[in-house]
Structure 1
Amino acid sequence: MKIVGISGSTVGTKTRTAMNYVETNLKEKYLEVEFELIDLAEYEMIFSDGRNYWEYEGDTKYVSEKIMAADALIIGTPTFQASIPASLKNVFDLLPVNAFRDKVVSMVGTAGTPKHFLMLEQQLKPILAYMKATIVPTYVFIEEKDFYRNEIINEDVIFRIERLVEDTIMFNDVFEEMRKKKDEEYGF
């Protein structure tokens, strides 16, 4: 199974810190999973201009192709102006409308205050649903107070990250079985 993690901002450290916890958990507990973390701050992405994702070059093509090749995604995003950052939205704009069909997608959100916890529900989930993702219903929301010096200090948040990783893998396994059963119905 291939899982791609996305740290969806080009600025700040909290989302990347949270995604580092995701990566550590995956690599320690799920050795059979191939995981790659894509931190958008480390790539030079150009803005979508309507071309097919494979027609781009450089980092833009690399990131798009890695996402398209994944079985599952764990998307980490900060909250900017009560929504997702432009860098993450651009990634979605680069991909085809059916990009997440047959992919399990889970979410980790960070924000300065608890007032933004619904951003994932009201902003990110509708985009993922439109792009045909199988969305893990629960997500992890992390507030500023849960971080200290680039570490998560809230044990409950760490537990919820572990559970999110477990749920992502479990959902992917279940949907893989469902896809196999559906394919067997065709008899080719």
Structure 2
Amino acid sequence: MKIVGLSGSIVGSKTRTAMERTINIISEKYPEIEVTLIDLADFNIQFSDGRNYLEYEGDTAYVTQTIMEADAVVIGTPVFQASIPATLKNIFDLLPEKAFIDKVVGFVVTAGSPKHYLVAEQQLKPILAYMKAQIVQTYVFLEEQDFYRKEIVSDDVIFRLERLVEDIVTLTKTYESIRKEKEAEYGF
């Protein structure tokens, strides 16, 4: 099983901190899983121009192909101006319409205010549903108070991250089992 963590911003540290913690939980609890963290701040990604994702080169090709090869994706996003950042939206635009078909997708949202929790509900979930993701319905929402010196200090948040990881792994295994069972029905 391959899980990709995508930290969807090129600025700030909170989303990266939350995604690193999430990836560490996956690695510790499920050492057999191949896990990759992609922090968009570490890459030079081209703007989408409508080409097939396989036609891009360099960092853009690496990021899109790594996401496409994953069985599950954990998306980390901050909330800027009551919206997801353009860098994350660009990744969605680079990928094909059905990029997340047969993939389980969970997400972690960081924001400065509790009023921004609906960004995930009203922006992120509809995009992922359109792209055919199997969405983990509960996500982890972190606020300013959950961090101190680039560390997560809330035990509740850590518990919710552990539960998100467990849900992602369980759902990915379940959907894989269902797919194999359906394929076996064809008998060829």
Q: TM-score, with normalisation over the residues of structure 2?
A: 0.99
Structure-1 separation of matches of 2:25 and 2:115: 28
| Residue number in structure 2 paired with 1:21 | 21
Per-residue CA deviations over 1:37-68 (Å, capped at 9, x if unaligned) read 00000000010000000100100000000000
* Counterparts of residues 77-92 of structure 1 (less than 5 Å): 77-92=77-92
- 1:6 and 2:25 matched: no
- Determine the structure 1 residue equivalent to 2:66: 66
Structure 2: which amino acid aligns with 1:61? A
After superposition, give the CA deviation of every residue in 1:134-184 in whole Å (9 maximum; x if it has no partner). Answer: 001110000011101000111000000011001000000110111111111
- Alpha-carbon offset, residue 120 of structure 1: 0.6
Quote the residue 1:33 is aligned against. Answer: 33
In structure 1, how many angstroms separate the alpha carbons of the residues matched to 2:152 and 2:30? 21
Structure 1 residue 185 displacement after superposition: 1.7
Q: Does 1:45 align with 2:49?
A: no
Give the corresponding residue for 2:123: 123
Superposition misfits of 4+ residues, deviation over 4 angstroms: none
- Deviation string 1:92-114 (CA, Å, 9 cap, x unpaired) is 00000010000000010000010
Secondary structure of 1:99's match? coil
Tell me the SS of whatever aligns to 1:118: helix
Alpha-carbon distance in 2 for matches of 1:23, 1:3: 9
Q: Name the structure 2 match of 1:163.
A: 163
Runs of 5+ unmatched residues, structure 2: none
In structure 2, the partner of 1:57 is: 57
Q: Aligned equivalents of 2:142 and 2:186: distance in 1?
A: 44
CA drift at 1:23: 1.1
Are 1:76 and 2:70 an aligned pair? no
Structure 1 runs not aligned, ≥5 long: none
For 1:135-146, list aligned pairs within 5 A.
Answer: 135-146=135-146
Distance 2:8 2:182 in 1: 34
The residue identity in structure 1 corresponding to 2:134 is: T
Q: Distance in 1 between matches of 2:18 and 2:174?
A: 26
Paired position in structure 2 for 1:179: 179
Structure 1 residue matching 2:108: 3-state secondary structure = strand
SS in 2 for 1:73: strand
Which residue does the alignment assign to 1:96? 96
TM-score of the superposed pair, with normalisation by structure 1? 0.99
State the aligned residue count: 188
Identity of aligned residues (%): 66
Asked if 1:107 is matched to 2:107, the reply is yes
